């Protein structure tokens, strides 16, 4: 079998920063190409400055490095997207279509493009949201994710492109700060707690949302990408669950380490976005198809975040 060369677009972001070392371990540091709008502050291996809205530049990178797989992580997330919806739509769709086209034309073997719980909206059941249900999202980000899922299915059916996808919940990690989403509070809260500060939360205390710890995200992504094609029955995007909690429950979990830690609640425009999303996710299709099972519950995730961030801020 030919050696794989992996291109990660949006590599400097929250997920790319954590995924890159895992891919380098799996495929070798010389076979993973990181790409983003700007160079990262530290050396992370082979890097290309790339604006993925530019098809010629993307094609050049794919050809020069003989890329065989693409992880497309560049996107504008839910809260940031609402500040300029047309810009967010154009960026999310243009980068996606460029990735799908370059993959079709240059024989890319596998493509990973994440979707999100933001694909769901008013008419999806809020608890145990099923794999197949109405998708009528309230944000431009969610609309772009529904379109992403449908374009992925189209390229698979029409051209046989092996595109795979997960509907990620809100991702919690210590490696970098999140990039403008509605679930970002669940990362920022740890940074404040570990530095001995109180936290002002932009969601109400009882706002339950599906979340997932980064280690589970990385394992789910790599397990999906390694699964035999015959086991992949969903070509839009798989529901994926980690753990669901409210800001009040997360605060209580943090208080087991820092009893004086306090959260104040000042909901803003992101409250309406959060209320349009599921509270818990049914990921039974992912479990059946390729054996998905999350490992991080709220106590374990809290322990990992506090332990790792304590080292960062020491
Ligand atoms: P992020 O905002 O942290 O990172 C996105 C990266 O893309 C940034 O480094 C940015 O510079 C880069 N980028 C933006 N425009 C670009 C362009 N034109 N060309 C090249 N690079 C560009 O996002 P993330 O949290 O790492 O998310 C990665 C993917 O996962 C996205 O598709 C996102 O929708 C999805 N997702 C993330 C979460 C989460 O909680 N982090 C949840 C659900 C889905
Ligand atoms: C966001 O809040 O926009 C992201 C997501 C759940 O897609 N974290």
Could you tell me the pTM of the whole model? 0.98
Q: How many Å lie between the centroid of ligand 1 and the Cα of residue 16?
A: 8
Q: Strands (DSSP E) along 207-266, which ranges?
A: 209-213, 238-239, 243-245, 263-265
Q: Which atom of ligand 1 is nearest to 95's Cα?
A: 18
Q: Is 274 in the pocket of ligand 2 (CB under 6 A)?
A: no
ipTM computed for the complex: 0.99
Q: Is 217 in the pocket of ligand 2 (CB under 6 A)?
A: no
Q: Whose CA is nearest to atom 5 of ligand 2?
A: 170
Ligand 2: which of 16, 77, 176, 279 to mutate, judged by most atoms within 8 Å of the beta carbon? 77
Question: How far is residue 314's CA from residue 298's CA, in Å, rounded to a whole number?
Answer: 24
Question: How far is residue 65's CA from residue 73's CA, in Å, rounded to a whole number?
Answer: 19
Question: How far is residue 292's CA from residue 182's CA, in Å, rounded to a whole number?
Answer: 25
H or E, element range at 32: strand 32-36
DSSP state of 3: P
Annotated catalytic residue 257 = no
Q: What is the pLDDT along the chain (314 residues), one digit of tens a residue?
A: 568 999 999 999 999 999 999 999 999 999 999 999 999 999 999 999 999 999 999 999 999 999 999 999 999 999 999 999 999 999 999 999 999 999 999 999 999 999 999 999 999 999 999 999 999 999 999 999 999 999 999 999 999 999 999 999 999 999 999 989 999 999 999 999 999 999 999 999 999 999 999 999 999 999 999 999 999 999 999 999 999 999 999 999 999 999 999 999 999 999 999 999 999 999 999 999 999 999 999 999 999 999 999 999 98
Ligand number nearest to the C-alpha of 202: 2
The DSSP bridge partners found for residue 48 are 35
Q: Whose CA is nearest to atom 7 of ligand 2?
A: 116
- Close Cβ partners of 299 (under 8 Å, ≥ 6 residues apart): 253, 256
pLDDT at 159: 98
pLDDT at 2: 65
Which of the following is catalytic: 71, 141, 155, 185? 141
Residues 34/40/45/46 CA torsion (nearest 10 deg)? 50
pLDDT at 125: 98
- Close Cβ partners of 55 (under 8 Å, ≥ 6 residues apart): 98, 101, 102
């Amino acid at each position: 079998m030919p050696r794989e060369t992996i291109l990660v677009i949006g590599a400097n972001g929250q997920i790319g920063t954590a995924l890159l070392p895992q891919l380098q371990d799996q495929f070798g540091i010389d076979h993973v190409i990181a790409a983003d709008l700007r160079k990262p502050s530290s050396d992370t291996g082979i890097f290309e400055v790339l604006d993925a809205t530019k098809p010629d530049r993307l094609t050049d990178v794919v050809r020069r490095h003989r890329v065989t797989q693409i992880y497309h992580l560049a996107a504008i997330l839910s809260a940031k997207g609402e500040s300029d919806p047309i810009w967010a739509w154009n960026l999310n769709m243009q980068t996606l279509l460029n990735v799908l086209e370059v993959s079709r034309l240059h024989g890319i073997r596998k493509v990973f493009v994440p979707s999100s719980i933001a694909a769901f909206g008013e008419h999806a059941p809020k608890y145990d949201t099923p794999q197949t249900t109405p998708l009528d999202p309230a944000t431009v980000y969610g609309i772009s994710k529904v379109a992403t899922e449908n374009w992925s299915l189209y390229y698979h059916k029409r051209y046989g492109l092996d595109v795979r996808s997960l509907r990620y919940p809100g991702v919690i990690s210590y490696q970098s700060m999140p990039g403008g989403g509605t679930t970002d509070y669940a990362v920022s809260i740890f940074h404040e707690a570990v530095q001995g500060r109180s936290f002002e939360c932009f969601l109400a205390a009882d706002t339950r949302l599906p979340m997932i710890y980064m280690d589970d995200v990385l394992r789910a992504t790599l397990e999906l990408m390694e699964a035999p094609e015959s086991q992949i029955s969903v070509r839009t995007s798989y529901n994926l669950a980690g753990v669901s909690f409210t800001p009040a429950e997360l605060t209580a979990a943090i208080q087991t380490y820092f009893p004086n830690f306090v959260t104040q609640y000042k909901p803003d425009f992101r409250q309406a976005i959060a209320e349009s999303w599921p509270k818990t996710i049914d990921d039974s299709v992912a479990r059946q198809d390729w054996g998905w099972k999350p490992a991080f519950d709220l106590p374990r995730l809290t322990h990992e975040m506090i332990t790792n961030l304590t080292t960062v801020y020491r």
